[in-house]
A = this chain, B = another copy of it.
Amino acid sequence: MAPSRAITSTLKTTLRTPTTIQRRCISAYGYEQAKVLVLSNYGEPKDVLRLHGHSISPPTGDLLTIKFLAAPINPADINQIQGVYPTKPTFTTSLSTPDPIAVGGNEGVAEVVSKGGNVKGFERGDWVIMKKQGFGTWRTHAQTTAENLVAIKNKDGLRPEQVGTVSVNPCTAYRMLKDFVDLRPGDWFIQNGANSGVGRAAIQLGKLWGYRSINIVRKRETGHEALVEDLKSLGADVVVTDEDLASKDFRDQLKTLTNGGREPIRLGLNCVGGSLVNNMAKHLSPSSPLVTYGAMSKQPVQLPMGLLIFKNISFQGFWVSRWSDAHPEEKEKCVAEILDLTRRGVFRDIPTERVEWGRGTKEGELVQAVQGTLEGYRSGKGIFVFGDT
Protein backbone atom coordinates (compact mmCIF):
# COMPACT_ATOMS: atom_id res chain seq x y z
CA MET A 1 0.00 0.00 0.00
CA ALA A 2 2.59 2.51 1.03
CA PRO A 3 4.85 1.97 -2.01
CA SER A 4 2.03 2.63 -4.44
CA ARG A 5 1.30 5.92 -2.69
CA ALA A 6 4.96 6.74 -2.89
CA ILE A 7 4.81 6.22 -6.62
CA THR A 8 1.84 8.58 -6.97
CA SER A 9 3.73 11.19 -5.01
CA THR A 10 6.80 10.63 -7.15
CA LEU A 11 4.88 11.03 -10.38
CA LYS A 12 3.70 14.44 -9.25
CA THR A 13 7.19 15.41 -8.20
CA THR A 14 8.77 14.35 -11.47
CA LEU A 15 6.87 17.10 -13.23
CA ARG A 16 8.87 19.70 -11.30
CA THR A 17 12.57 19.53 -12.03
CA PRO A 18 14.91 17.19 -13.83
CA THR A 19 17.10 16.71 -10.74
CA THR A 20 14.12 15.46 -8.79
CA ILE A 21 13.54 12.71 -11.31
CA GLN A 22 16.64 10.80 -10.47
CA ARG A 23 16.06 10.79 -6.73
CA ARG A 24 12.40 10.11 -6.90
CA CYS A 25 12.97 7.29 -9.31
CA ILE A 26 14.77 5.56 -6.49
CA SER A 27 12.00 6.55 -4.10
CA ALA A 28 9.50 5.10 -6.51
CA TYR A 29 10.73 1.67 -5.56
CA GLY A 30 10.44 2.59 -1.87
CA TYR A 31 14.12 3.35 -1.38
CA GLU A 32 15.30 6.60 0.19
CA GLN A 33 18.74 8.10 -0.07
CA ALA A 34 19.27 9.42 3.43
CA LYS A 35 21.84 11.98 4.53
CA VAL A 36 22.79 11.94 8.20
CA LEU A 37 24.99 14.22 10.31
CA VAL A 38 27.07 11.82 12.36
CA LEU A 39 29.97 11.37 14.73
CA SER A 40 32.15 8.37 15.40
CA ASN A 41 34.06 9.93 18.33
CA TYR A 42 33.24 12.59 20.90
CA GLY A 43 34.69 16.05 20.42
CA GLU A 44 33.95 19.57 19.24
CA PRO A 45 31.20 19.50 16.58
CA LYS A 46 33.51 21.08 13.97
CA ASP A 47 36.07 18.33 14.52
CA VAL A 48 33.88 15.25 14.75
CA LEU A 49 30.67 15.82 12.76
CA ARG A 50 30.48 14.67 9.16
CA LEU A 51 27.75 14.11 6.61
CA HIS A 52 27.16 10.48 5.73
CA GLY A 53 24.87 9.03 3.05
CA HIS A 54 23.13 5.70 3.18
CA SER A 55 20.27 3.97 1.48
CA ILE A 56 17.01 3.01 3.21
CA SER A 57 15.09 -0.03 1.91
CA PRO A 58 11.31 -0.08 1.62
CA PRO A 59 9.83 -0.70 5.06
CA THR A 60 8.40 -4.13 5.78
CA GLY A 61 6.67 -5.63 8.81
CA ASP A 62 6.83 -3.26 11.79
CA LEU A 63 9.04 -0.67 10.10
CA LEU A 64 8.23 2.88 9.05
CA THR A 65 10.29 5.22 6.93
CA ILE A 66 10.10 8.84 7.98
CA LYS A 67 11.34 12.02 6.34
CA PHE A 68 12.43 14.81 8.66
CA LEU A 69 10.79 18.23 8.40
CA ALA A 70 12.55 20.18 11.16
CA ALA A 71 15.09 19.43 13.89
CA PRO A 72 16.48 22.03 16.33
CA ILE A 73 20.03 22.35 17.58
CA ASN A 74 19.70 22.33 21.36
CA PRO A 75 22.61 23.03 23.73
CA ALA A 76 22.23 19.50 25.11
CA ASP A 77 22.86 18.10 21.61
CA ILE A 78 26.23 19.80 21.60
CA ASN A 79 27.11 18.52 25.05
CA GLN A 80 26.18 15.07 23.86
CA ILE A 81 28.59 15.35 20.91
CA GLN A 82 31.28 16.58 23.29
CA GLY A 83 30.68 13.43 25.36
CA VAL A 84 29.82 15.39 28.49
CA TYR A 85 26.10 14.69 28.55
CA PRO A 86 24.73 11.84 30.65
CA THR A 87 22.65 10.43 27.79
CA LYS A 88 24.95 9.09 25.13
CA PRO A 89 23.98 8.99 21.44
CA THR A 90 23.30 5.54 19.98
CA PHE A 91 26.33 4.23 18.10
CA THR A 92 25.46 1.71 15.39
CA THR A 93 26.84 0.05 12.25
CA SER A 94 23.34 -0.27 10.78
CA LEU A 95 23.79 2.84 8.64
CA SER A 96 26.25 1.13 6.31
CA THR A 97 29.54 2.05 7.92
CA PRO A 98 32.29 -0.34 8.97
CA ASP A 99 32.73 1.42 12.31
CA PRO A 100 29.91 2.48 14.64
CA ILE A 101 28.52 5.97 14.13
CA ALA A 102 25.84 7.97 15.91
CA VAL A 103 23.43 10.54 14.46
CA GLY A 104 23.36 13.92 16.21
CA GLY A 105 20.25 15.70 17.50
CA ASN A 106 17.49 14.55 19.82
CA GLU A 107 14.41 16.59 18.98
CA GLY A 108 12.51 17.02 15.73
CA VAL A 109 9.44 16.40 13.66
CA ALA A 110 9.20 14.04 10.70
CA GLU A 111 6.58 12.84 8.26
CA VAL A 112 5.72 9.21 7.68
CA VAL A 113 6.52 8.43 4.03
CA SER A 114 5.93 4.69 4.01
CA LYS A 115 5.26 1.83 6.39
CA GLY A 116 5.34 -1.94 6.65
CA GLY A 117 2.20 -4.04 6.69
CA ASN A 118 2.11 -4.58 10.45
CA VAL A 119 2.28 -0.93 11.46
CA LYS A 120 -0.85 0.29 13.25
CA GLY A 121 -1.79 3.79 14.30
CA PHE A 122 0.34 5.66 11.78
CA GLU A 123 -0.54 6.64 8.24
CA ARG A 124 1.50 8.05 5.43
CA GLY A 125 1.59 11.81 5.78
CA ASP A 126 1.30 11.75 9.57
CA TRP A 127 3.66 13.95 11.50
CA VAL A 128 5.62 12.32 14.28
CA ILE A 129 7.98 13.38 17.06
CA MET A 130 10.47 11.23 18.94
CA LYS A 131 9.37 9.42 22.07
CA LYS A 132 12.82 9.46 23.68
CA GLN A 133 16.23 11.08 23.60
CA GLY A 134 18.95 9.53 21.48
CA PHE A 135 16.98 8.93 18.31
CA GLY A 136 19.29 11.09 16.19
CA THR A 137 17.23 13.75 14.43
CA TRP A 138 19.81 15.51 12.28
CA ARG A 139 19.03 13.39 9.25
CA THR A 140 16.86 13.62 6.18
CA HIS A 141 15.28 10.19 6.61
CA ALA A 142 15.19 7.36 9.09
CA GLN A 143 13.67 3.95 9.38
CA THR A 144 12.32 2.87 12.73
CA THR A 145 9.48 1.15 14.57
CA ALA A 146 6.32 2.70 15.94
CA GLU A 147 7.31 2.52 19.60
CA ASN A 148 9.97 5.16 19.05
CA LEU A 149 7.47 7.68 17.70
CA VAL A 150 4.61 9.82 18.96
CA ALA A 151 1.98 10.76 16.37
CA ILE A 152 0.88 14.38 16.19
CA LYS A 153 -2.85 13.84 15.99
CA ASN A 154 -3.69 17.30 14.72
CA LYS A 155 -1.14 19.23 12.70
CA ASP A 156 -3.63 21.72 11.28
CA GLY A 157 -2.34 25.25 11.29
CA LEU A 158 1.07 24.29 12.60
CA ARG A 159 4.50 24.78 11.04
CA PRO A 160 7.19 22.10 11.35
CA GLU A 161 9.38 24.49 13.36
CA GLN A 162 6.61 24.71 15.96
CA VAL A 163 6.06 20.96 16.24
CA GLY A 164 9.77 20.23 16.06
CA THR A 165 10.55 22.35 19.14
CA VAL A 166 7.65 21.45 21.42
CA SER A 167 9.08 18.39 23.22
CA VAL A 168 11.97 19.90 25.13
CA ASN A 169 11.56 23.55 26.08
CA PRO A 170 7.81 24.10 26.37
CA CYS A 171 7.32 20.72 28.07
CA THR A 172 10.08 21.58 30.55
CA ALA A 173 8.40 24.88 31.40
CA TYR A 174 4.98 23.25 31.63
CA ARG A 175 6.06 20.52 34.04
CA MET A 176 8.17 22.77 36.25
CA LEU A 177 5.23 25.14 36.74
CA LYS A 178 2.87 22.26 37.54
CA ASP A 179 4.79 19.49 39.27
CA PHE A 180 6.77 21.05 42.14
CA VAL A 181 4.28 23.24 43.96
CA ASP A 182 0.58 23.84 43.65
CA LEU A 183 0.67 27.40 42.32
CA ARG A 184 -2.56 29.35 42.60
CA PRO A 185 -3.64 32.21 40.35
CA GLY A 186 -1.94 35.38 41.56
CA ASP A 187 1.09 33.52 42.95
CA TRP A 188 4.50 34.63 41.78
CA PHE A 189 7.36 32.60 40.39
CA ILE A 190 10.90 33.83 39.76
CA GLN A 191 13.18 32.57 37.01
CA ASN A 192 16.59 33.30 35.55
CA GLY A 193 17.51 32.80 31.89
CA ALA A 194 14.09 34.29 31.17
CA ASN A 195 14.94 34.80 27.50
CA SER A 196 15.74 31.13 26.95
CA GLY A 197 13.35 28.78 25.20
CA VAL A 198 12.15 27.42 28.53
CA GLY A 199 12.03 30.90 30.07
CA ARG A 200 9.85 32.30 27.30
CA ALA A 201 7.55 29.29 27.50
CA ALA A 202 7.26 29.63 31.29
CA ILE A 203 6.29 33.30 31.00
CA GLN A 204 3.51 32.47 28.55
CA LEU A 205 2.17 29.35 30.24
CA GLY A 206 2.34 31.08 33.62
CA LYS A 207 0.36 34.01 32.26
CA LEU A 208 -2.27 31.70 30.77
CA TRP A 209 -2.67 29.99 34.14
CA GLY A 210 -2.81 33.25 36.09
CA TYR A 211 0.64 33.13 37.69
CA ARG A 212 2.84 36.22 37.84
CA SER A 213 6.50 36.08 36.85
CA ILE A 214 9.70 37.82 37.92
CA ASN A 215 12.15 37.37 35.06
CA ILE A 216 15.91 37.72 35.43
CA VAL A 217 18.01 38.44 32.33
CA ARG A 218 21.67 39.25 31.87
CA LYS A 219 22.49 42.95 31.61
CA ARG A 220 22.96 43.74 27.91
CA GLU A 221 24.86 46.76 26.64
CA THR A 222 22.53 47.14 23.68
CA GLY A 223 19.01 46.01 23.05
CA HIS A 224 18.11 45.70 26.71
CA GLU A 225 14.94 47.76 26.45
CA ALA A 226 13.80 45.81 23.38
CA LEU A 227 14.32 42.54 25.23
CA VAL A 228 12.31 43.78 28.21
CA GLU A 229 9.49 44.83 25.89
CA ASP A 230 9.64 41.51 24.09
CA LEU A 231 9.34 39.52 27.32
CA LYS A 232 6.56 41.80 28.57
CA SER A 233 4.68 41.25 25.32
CA LEU A 234 4.80 37.53 26.13
CA GLY A 235 3.29 38.20 29.55
CA ALA A 236 6.26 38.88 31.84
CA ASP A 237 5.11 40.91 34.86
CA VAL A 238 8.57 42.00 36.00
CA VAL A 239 11.92 41.91 34.19
CA VAL A 240 15.09 42.56 36.19
CA THR A 241 18.78 42.15 35.44
CA ASP A 242 20.97 39.78 37.44
CA GLU A 243 22.92 42.82 38.68
CA ASP A 244 19.82 44.59 39.97
CA LEU A 245 18.32 41.52 41.65
CA ALA A 246 20.23 42.04 44.90
CA SER A 247 19.80 45.82 45.01
CA LYS A 248 17.85 47.56 47.74
CA ASP A 249 15.71 49.24 45.11
CA PHE A 250 14.57 45.91 43.77
CA ARG A 251 13.94 44.51 47.24
CA ASP A 252 11.74 47.51 47.95
CA GLN A 253 9.95 47.08 44.63
CA LEU A 254 9.40 43.42 45.45
CA LYS A 255 7.85 44.30 48.79
CA THR A 256 5.27 46.40 46.99
CA LEU A 257 4.67 43.83 44.26
CA THR A 258 4.14 40.96 46.69
CA ASN A 259 2.08 43.09 49.05
CA GLY A 260 4.69 42.81 51.78
CA GLY A 261 5.07 39.09 51.20
CA ARG A 262 1.36 38.32 51.53
CA GLU A 263 1.29 37.40 47.82
CA PRO A 264 4.16 34.95 47.90
CA ILE A 265 6.88 33.94 45.44
CA ARG A 266 6.36 30.20 45.60
CA LEU A 267 8.64 28.77 42.92
CA GLY A 268 12.09 29.48 41.47
CA LEU A 269 13.38 28.20 38.13
CA ASN A 270 17.11 28.13 37.48
CA CYS A 271 19.08 27.39 34.32
CA VAL A 272 22.12 29.55 35.14
CA GLY A 273 23.69 28.50 38.45
CA GLY A 274 26.26 30.41 40.51
CA SER A 275 25.62 33.03 43.15
CA LEU A 276 22.57 34.32 41.31
CA VAL A 277 20.66 31.32 42.60
CA ASN A 278 21.23 32.34 46.20
CA ASN A 279 19.76 35.73 45.55
CA MET A 280 16.73 34.11 43.98
CA ALA A 281 16.33 31.67 46.84
CA LYS A 282 16.36 34.51 49.36
CA HIS A 283 13.34 36.06 47.66
CA LEU A 284 11.32 32.85 47.82
CA SER A 285 8.60 32.35 50.40
CA PRO A 286 9.27 29.73 53.08
CA SER A 287 8.85 26.09 51.98
CA SER A 288 9.19 26.91 48.27
CA PRO A 289 11.13 24.80 45.78
CA LEU A 290 13.92 26.13 43.60
CA VAL A 291 14.11 23.93 40.52
CA THR A 292 17.28 23.66 38.43
CA TYR A 293 17.03 22.56 34.81
CA GLY A 294 20.20 24.01 33.33
CA ALA A 295 23.65 25.29 34.23
CA MET A 296 24.56 27.88 31.61
CA SER A 297 27.14 29.61 33.79
CA LYS A 298 28.76 26.25 34.64
CA GLN A 299 29.05 27.57 38.22
CA PRO A 300 27.78 25.40 41.08
CA VAL A 301 25.21 26.75 43.48
CA GLN A 302 26.37 27.56 47.00
CA LEU A 303 23.64 26.67 49.43
CA PRO A 304 23.58 28.44 52.76
CA MET A 305 22.32 25.82 55.21
CA GLY A 306 19.91 28.25 56.88
CA LEU A 307 17.84 28.50 53.70
CA LEU A 308 17.41 24.73 53.74
CA ILE A 309 16.78 24.23 57.43
CA PHE A 310 14.94 27.29 58.65
CA LYS A 311 13.31 28.57 55.46
CA ASN A 312 12.66 25.05 54.19
CA ILE A 313 13.68 25.98 50.64
CA SER A 314 14.24 22.79 48.67
CA PHE A 315 16.66 22.53 45.77
CA GLN A 316 15.47 20.12 43.15
CA GLY A 317 16.27 19.29 39.56
CA PHE A 318 14.20 18.73 36.46
CA TRP A 319 15.27 16.87 33.35
CA VAL A 320 12.59 16.56 30.72
CA SER A 321 14.13 13.36 29.30
CA ARG A 322 13.76 11.58 32.60
CA TRP A 323 10.22 12.85 32.95
CA SER A 324 9.25 11.87 29.41
CA ASP A 325 10.62 8.37 29.84
CA ALA A 326 8.69 7.95 33.07
CA HIS A 327 5.43 9.51 31.83
CA PRO A 328 4.99 8.80 28.12
CA GLU A 329 1.23 9.34 28.14
CA GLU A 330 1.40 12.59 30.04
CA LYS A 331 4.07 13.75 27.66
CA GLU A 332 1.77 13.16 24.74
CA LYS A 333 -0.97 15.16 26.48
CA CYS A 334 1.44 17.96 27.34
CA VAL A 335 2.61 18.19 23.71
CA ALA A 336 -0.96 18.17 22.40
CA GLU A 337 -1.99 20.92 24.81
CA ILE A 338 0.91 23.18 23.91
CA LEU A 339 0.36 22.63 20.20
CA ASP A 340 -3.29 23.49 20.68
CA LEU A 341 -2.30 26.75 22.39
CA THR A 342 0.13 27.41 19.54
CA ARG A 343 -2.58 26.79 16.94
CA ARG A 344 -4.93 29.16 18.75
CA GLY A 345 -2.23 31.82 18.68
CA VAL A 346 -1.97 32.14 22.46
CA PHE A 347 1.42 30.44 22.71
CA ARG A 348 4.28 31.87 20.70
CA ASP A 349 7.10 29.53 19.74
CA ILE A 350 10.64 30.76 20.32
CA PRO A 351 12.57 32.80 17.77
CA THR A 352 14.47 30.40 15.53
CA GLU A 353 17.18 30.84 12.95
CA ARG A 354 16.43 28.50 10.09
CA VAL A 355 19.24 26.44 8.64
CA GLU A 356 17.96 25.12 5.33
CA TRP A 357 18.95 21.52 4.64
CA GLY A 358 18.26 20.57 1.03
CA ARG A 359 19.64 17.89 -1.19
CA GLY A 360 22.54 20.04 -2.23
CA THR A 361 23.49 21.35 1.22
CA LYS A 362 27.16 20.80 1.97
CA GLU A 363 28.59 19.18 5.07
CA GLY A 364 30.44 22.37 6.00
CA GLU A 365 27.27 24.45 6.23
CA LEU A 366 25.57 21.93 8.50
CA VAL A 367 28.56 21.48 10.77
CA GLN A 368 29.02 25.23 11.02
CA ALA A 369 25.38 25.61 12.04
CA VAL A 370 25.99 23.28 14.98
CA GLN A 371 29.31 24.84 15.94
CA GLY A 372 27.72 28.30 15.69
CA THR A 373 25.11 27.36 18.29
CA LEU A 374 27.92 26.42 20.62
CA GLU A 375 29.54 29.79 20.06
CA GLY A 376 26.24 31.47 20.82
CA TYR A 377 26.18 34.06 18.07
CA ARG A 378 22.66 33.31 16.91
CA SER A 379 19.66 35.58 17.31
CA GLY A 380 17.45 32.57 17.88
CA LYS A 381 17.68 28.83 18.27
CA GLY A 382 19.26 27.16 15.24
CA ILE A 383 16.90 24.74 13.56
CA PHE A 384 17.43 22.50 10.56
CA VAL A 385 14.49 22.91 8.20
CA PHE A 386 14.44 20.23 5.55
CA GLY A 387 13.53 21.22 2.00
CA ASP A 388 13.52 18.86 -0.89
CA THR A 389 15.72 16.05 0.39
Q: Which of B301, B309, B311, B319 lies in contact with A294, CB distance below 8 A?
A: B309
- A310 touching B306, Cβ below 8 Å: no
How far, in whole Å, are A324 and B276 apart by their CA atoms in the complex? Answer: 33
| Least CB distance, A173 to chain B, in whole angstroms | 15
CA distance A309 to B79 in the complex (A): 14
A177 to chain B, nearest CB (A): 17
Do the beta carbons of B314 and A315 come within 8 Å of each other? yes
- Mark interface residues in A328-341 (1 if CB within 8 Å of B CB, else 0): 00000000000000
Enumerate chain B residues within 8 angstroms of A293, measured Cβ to Cβ.
309
Interface size class of chain A, counting residues whose CB lies under 8 Å from the partner chain: 20 to 34
Residues in B with CB closer than 8 Å to A350 are: none
Q: Is A351 located at the chain interface by the 8 A CB criterion?
A: no
Q: Taking chain A's interface residues, is the majority helix, strand, or loop, or is none over half, making it mixed? A: mixed
Does A300 interact with chain B (Cβ within 8 Å)?
Answer: yes
Contact with B along A77-98 (1 / 0, CB 8 A): 0000000001000000000000
Considering the complex, give the chain B residue whose CB is closest to the CB of A287: B322
Pairwise interchain contact A317-B322, C-beta atoms closer than 8 A: no
Looking at the assembled complex, report how far the CB atom of A115 sits from the nearest CB atom of chain B, in whole angstroms. 35
Hey, which chain B residues are within 8 Å of A310, CB to CB?
A: 86, 317, 319, 322
Per-residue B-contact encoding for A286-327, CB less than 8 Å = 1, 0 else: 000000111100001111111111111111111100100000
| A30 in the interface (beta carbon within 8 A) | no
CB of A273 within 8 Å of the partner chain: yes
A86 touches B306 (CB 8 A): yes
Q: How far is the CA of A309 from the CA of B292 in the complex (A)?
A: 6
CB within 8 Å for A308 and B316 given contacts A301-B302, A302-B302, A303-B301: yes
Cβ contact within 8 Å between B292 and A308: yes
List residues of chain B with CB within 8 A of the CB of A317.
Answer: 305, 307-314
In the assembled complex, how far is the CB of residue A303 from the closest CB belonging to chain B, in whole angstroms?
4
Determine which residue in A292, A303, A305 has the highest number of CB atoms from chain B within 10 A of its CB, and name it. A305
- Taking CB as reference atom, which chain B residue is nearest A305? B295
In the complex, chain B residues whose CB is within 8 Å of the CB of A305: 273, 292, 294-295, 300-301, 317
Closest Cβ neighbor of A297 among chain B residues: B305
| Alpha-carbon distance A292/B306, docked complex (angstroms) | 9
Bound together, the chains give a CA A48 to CA B294 distance in angstroms of 48
On chain B, the residues within 8 Å of A319 by CB distance are 309-310, 312
**Cα separation A308 to B301 with both chains bound (whole Å):** 10
10 further A-B pairs in the complex, CB-CB below 8 A; given A295-B305, A310-B322: A86-B306, A292-B305, A292-B308, A295-B309, A300-B302, A303-B303, A303-B315, A310-B319, A312-B322, A315-B316
Q: Which 6 A-B pairs have the closest CB atoms?
A: A308-B317, A295-B305, A315-B315, A309-B317, A86-B310, A314-B316
A-to-B contact residues, CB < 8 Å: 86, 273, 292-295, 300-319, 322
- A sample of 28 inter-chain contacts (CB < 8 A) reads A86-B306, A292-B305, A292-B308, A292-B309, A293-B309, A294-B305, A294-B309, A295-B306, A295-B309, A300-B303, A300-B304, A300-B305, A301-B302, A302-B303, A303-B315, A308-B315, A308-B317, A309-B318, A309-B319, A310-B322, A312-B316, A312-B317, A313-B317, A314-B315, A314-B316, A314-B317, A315-B315, A315-B316
